[in-house]
Amino acid sequence: MTNNIKNAELFSLFWENSKINKRTILKFAKKLDEDARTARSVSQIFYPTEDLLLSKPKDKIAQLMSERKSTRAFTNFAFSEKQLGSLFHAFRLKETTSRLLPSAGGKYPIEVYAFLFNVQGGLNKQITYYNPDSHSLSIVAKCPDWDEVKESFGLKLKGQPAVFFIFIAIPERTIDKYGERGGRFILTEAGHYAQNLALRLALEKLGGVISGALYDDEIKKLLNLQNTNALVTLGFACGNFKQ
């Protein structure tokens, strides 16, 4: 299953070469092991001048940003409908025409899907698509059990996530305007979505972690997107975290 994006052949090639699957994960894991054995702490850039200290903000956003962290162990508490609404609100369309997120050229290539593994109410065990204009969900397919599919989600977790968000990109929206350069914008924008979600998780005192190692084609298949050029950019496992 290859992605062949018109007007961005090199981006398509880069995408194919960086896909994860049962075969490429072996090489990827080897690189991670090597890094764990050899990596030192990240060095700071240093200018030999006096440090000019800045004042520290003491507001709500600064507080939330300091509470954000990655957590990888979850309890089996289901998310309430209220918590679900709060998390998806990270991606909502504003009352006007723009979203709460920036987007190069206003092309909004990122779409949000979520596997609802453990939520209260009728949406439990559904795979859903988020409608940012009406702040609502559409059902895409039945959601398999976490244990059945966890390998494709590329994370080693303790317990199961309540919800697993997937940020999908429709590359043509951005590439048709920006060509190869648009590839950079798509990836940058996925990061904005992840950060917005991370802040709402901190607000809700919930836990979560980004997955950068999703098995691209397996996830596409689960979302019924296998015959499209959709790109699986990032995933985000969320749950009530275990202290």
Residues near ligand FMN (CB under 6 A) are 69-70, 72, 154-155, 209-213
3 closest CA partner among 242, 170, 229, 239: 229
Shortest distance, position 190 Cβ to ligand FMN, whole Å: 8
Nearer to ligand FMN by Cβ, of 57 and 212: the residue is: 212
Ranked by CB distance to ligand FMN, the top (closest) residue is 212
Nearer to ligand FMN by Cβ, of 172 and 215: the residue is: 215
Shortest distance, position 210 Cβ to ligand FMN, whole Å: 4
Shortest distance, position 157 Cβ to ligand FMN, whole Å: 8
Nearer to ligand FMN by Cβ, of 72 and 221: the residue is: 72
Nearer to ligand FMN by Cβ, of 69 and 242: the residue is: 69
Shortest distance, position 221 Cβ to ligand FMN, whole Å: 20
Nearer to ligand FMN by Cβ, of 154 and 182: the residue is: 154
Shortest distance, position 5 Cβ to ligand FMN, whole Å: 21
- Residue pair 148/137 in contact (Cβ under 8 Å)? The answer is no
